[in-house]
Amino acid sequence: MQFGPARPRRKPSLTPMIDVVFLLLVFFMLAARFGQDVGLALAPAGQATASYSGPPRLVEFAGGTVWLNGVETDLRALPEALTPLMPDPEALVVLRPRDGASVQDAARLTDALRAAGLTTLVLMEP
């Protein structure tokens, strides 16, 4: 039995493989996040270090609106509204997001309360 002449072996082309590697590189570079993650320094409700005493101080927030104990309050007037409810400046203030609340709402609220000297803030789950 006779076979025909042997075909010369082809070397694989590396160009398509290099193209795929560069496409993957571009994909992962675009998908990567290079910014800094910024977090809010708040204690979760179950890990609060301060004990709760005095009248209720529940501050709810969503979409730029703030409620103190269920009553809608302006964010700028919130520290003055909290003052009569606070037995001391280190008293615990409970923050609870409502549906539609964003992290920006939480940051704005905590910044306003900390600027007014209220430092013991606890964030609850919605």
Is residue 68 included in any domain, yes or no?
Answer: yes
Is residue 89 included in any domain, yes or no?
Answer: yes
Q: What is the pLDDT of residues 86-99, one digit of tens each?
A: 888 788 888 999 99
Tally of structural domains, the chain: 1
Domain range for 101: 57-123
Q: What is the pLDDT of residues 16-43, one digit of tens each?
A: 999 999 999 999 999 887 776 666 666 5
Is residue 87 included in any domain, yes or no?
Answer: yes
Check whether 111 has a pLDDT greater than 60. Answer: yes
Give the span between the Cα atoms of 96 and 106, in whole angstroms.
9
Question: From residue 90, how far is each of 32, 39, 49 by CA, in Å?
Answer: 41, 22, 11
Beta strand 65-68 pairing with 43-44: unpaired
Is residue 4 included in any domain, yes or no?
Answer: no
> Which CATH number goes with the domain that contains 116?
3.30.420.270
